[in-house]
Structure 1
């Protein structure tokens, strides 16, 4: 319920703060006093678009705050989904800056206008004569029937299954699309895959082949270098090993004369051993290296094939070719197994469709069961509201496809007069009739659902005192399970409120401002007397006002 509303620098409002009780609240005031301004400010904090013209002082920002008690609204999942702090006393705030920009907050956390609007829709339902078109929408009409049929749990199962069904259909269609496209590319992909599989692709193979090619194509140079190196080490006259052996003997003769001589000898010995190993390795390499023109040609062919493949696939390494080969293998293999996958996907769709059809049929059965009850309730309540001949024709027809709320098309026809043909609400019902029908439907919904705060904005315009009494009784009845506001010009309606507020204007220092206050019992008598007979209050008007309020 709405517990507090604070408005600053909006239209004719300078600074206003008002707290509201639960139950049935009526709001009265002269035409032009600012009742619509209050609604406009509330609509802003509920997420409606802002207008810079709404600022009272264009050099200051406008701030509107609304506090709600939301403990019974089941809104924790909404707060968790949007990463917001959940508080049973939740504050919505809207700021409109002089620049024209606006900001929105929920419990001091900045939010987008969309999030604020979605939460606002769950907190307040504003109903006026020009907002009755929703009544003519099939989805809303089905919602009323589902409330009476207690279809909420079944609808939850249906929507969960519908989501799974749509996902299965999407997957199936994706496979069909892939099959259609892949069929065109299959032959070419198979050719590319065979071409890549014909080459021994493995990591490092290119480096190995390039190294081998370098050796095979330079055999003579390698052998000549190895031979010369061997000769340098082992020549009898000037061989390095011979010279080093002589040096080693010389230093060995003095190695016993101190640690430094011994260390020098060890170093020469180490060098000699290393060079001797090198000599052995040179000799071994000479024995292994030999010219092999056939192998050279083979290596060259393999390298050219790798280079050509890299150029063809526009890559620079064997590793990238391996990745392409794996992708092609997956594609070719997937196409080969696609028929089985498509059959499985089609079976999943069929299974979900069967399950969905059964749930839709259960929804239809429950709906058909309560339609007579709904027609009876509507006609009975409308009779009290001055529409004794109002009748409805409500039927369900099978829709061609699954919808978010089942597989039903609703025929919801209305006739206000005896002998008149039934027709669509939006075509045959007047604005006043739509208002009374909507009030009736909302009152029925209130018996089966926990509705948000309801605001009826002058829906009693143009009706007689007797009918307005009946409308007030309906709103008062609704307020037993929810908070209901009625903005009204009719004393019969205003008197039925558990609490009454008055909106009025004051002129101070040449500036006009709008205010609102809760009326005391004596102030209510005066206000109702003015509504009955004008500013010149007569004794009979006062007596009538007391009678309406049931005051002694």
Structure 2
């Protein structure tokens, strides 16, 4: 719900501040005062209308799914439009793209002045028909949930079968690719850690000659071992430390000797090259072994493809049979409630002085999670495209009211652009009664030229013009009576008009 509106520099309006409570909000005033400018200014903060305003700021106390748009929600959410060279949109001082704002706004704002027919979607009609059935038969919800669950399974199995059919077309090619990879990896037969060990060995082999030459030169020291020990003994020094040191040196020298080991250097290099190929292709030996395991599994799958295909086809046949049978039950149930829905819609259309709507059910739609039904709506045997904008808006209003009555729920903001234009007082009063009923569910904004609709307002704002500047103010009870009387009799307010206005209120 919008609780506050602030608009700055919107053509004739230098500044406008409104505090609004729930229910029906009506803007009245003489033609040309700026009602439509103000109305579109409010809509522009939702990116649902264009406006010349430099600043528009709305304060809403609704819980909105702002996280889906990367915006942190607050208890009071501030929608703001700023226009300089370009128009920028903000929610809670965080920038949001125009298209994203429109998508967000359409989730809780209905603008019946916009050229849209999204109220009459097939899903909405079906939901109303199913709700009517559930009101009399609570078990129908279980049936409906079961149908949707079966269709989800059917969709999943169909997807798996389609994948197998695609694989079947190129199964020989896929099997050949899998076999080649398996054979290549198995022929190399890699071991985890082997590559690193071979690199170390290669490094050691590469300095074999230098290593042997160095130790040959160093081994001269052992020829002087006896002479050193004799010298130490003559000097009355214990030669044990020297003997131990040379023994340690002998061990190192023996370990570094490579002539006792025969290495297939070419074999080592070839092995490194094979392992290097696997690492380059699969990033690691571990990945290569994992690929080997996966390809063997895939090969088994390809070889069992025919069996899997038959199993899935059998499942599809069984579940399709169940879905088709339940879809027939679903269609019949909806057909039984079609007249009730049509009567409910027509009761509102009658109040809005519209021709009756005719609802028909086509059962030849491609089956989906909602069944195979499509609801077709006509007014006096005319297509919706043949309705005037005023008729279409009243039809949309009647459908919104029907939704609220059947579902006993509705939430959001409803904008009606001069819904009572070119109507008689009797017709306007009928619209007023519908809006009064809807105001229990929606916060409603409308412009009105007739006292009947305006008399039902919970917030009545008068838009006036003084020279080139426009002003808006909320009317008190006494001021409302005068404004309604003006709408009845014109600038010269008669006593009869005042009495009629009091009667309306």
Q: TM-score range by the shorter chain?
A: 0.7 to 0.9
Unaligned runs of 5+ in 1: 56-60, 234-238, 256-260, 416-421
- State the TM-score, normalizing by the size of structure 1: 0.73
Q: What is aligned with 2:375?
A: 410
Show CA shifts across 1:424-472 (max 9, x none): 3334x44444343333322222223422233322122222222222222
CA distance in 2, matches of 1:315, 1:521: 83
Show CA shifts across 1:321-372 (max 9, x none): 6566556445434433444555566667667756765775565344323211
Q: What is aligned with 1:250?
A: 231
The alignment of Structure 1 onto Structure 2 pairs a total of residues equal to: 497
Report deviation, 1:93.
1.4
- State the TM-score, normalizing by the size of structure 2: 0.79
Show CA shifts across 1:377-419 (max 9, x none): 33344344445xx44432222244234644211132331xxxx
Q: Find 1:468's aligned residue among 421, 428, 453.
A: 428
| Secondary structure, aligned partner of 1:442 | helix
| Secondary structure, aligned partner of 2:112 | strand
Are 2:81 and 1:95 equivalent residues in the alignment?
A: yes
Are 2:41 and 1:41 equivalent residues in the alignment?
A: yes
CA distance in 2, matches of 1:474, 1:523: 25
Report deviation, 1:33.
1.7
Distance 1:465 1:171, change over 3 A: same
Are 2:444 and 1:484 equivalent residues in the alignment?
A: yes
Task: Quote the RMSD (CA, aligned, Å).
Answer: 4.4
Report deviation, 1:18.
0.9
Show CA shifts across 1:136-159 (max 9, x none): 554454455455445996777766
Q: What is aligned with 1:236?
A: none
| Secondary structure, aligned partner of 1:455 | strand
Q: Find 1:194's aligned residue among 183, 192, 198.
A: 183
For 1:4-153, list aligned pairs within 5 A.
Answer: 4-48=4-48, 54-55=52-53, 61-68=54-61, 70=62, 75=63, 78-79=65-66, 87=74, 89-106=75-92, 108-128=93-113, 131=115, 133-134=117-118, 137-146=121-130, 148-149=132-133
Unaligned runs of 5+ in 2: none
Q: Find 1:368's aligned residue among 316, 331, 335.
A: 335
Show CA shifts across 1:101-129 (max 9, x none): 413214x555444554344334332223x
Of 203-212 and 14-23, more deviation after overlay is shown by 203-212
Report deviation, 1:35.
1.8
CA distance in 2, matches of 1:113, 1:396: 38
CA distance in 1, matches of 2:258, 2:116: 99
For 1:199-348, list aligned pairs within 5 A.
Answer: 199-203=188-192, 229=216, 240-255=221-236, 261-262=237-238, 265-277=239-251, 288-289=260-261, 300=266, 304=270, 307=273, 319=285, 325=292, 328-339=295-306, 342=309
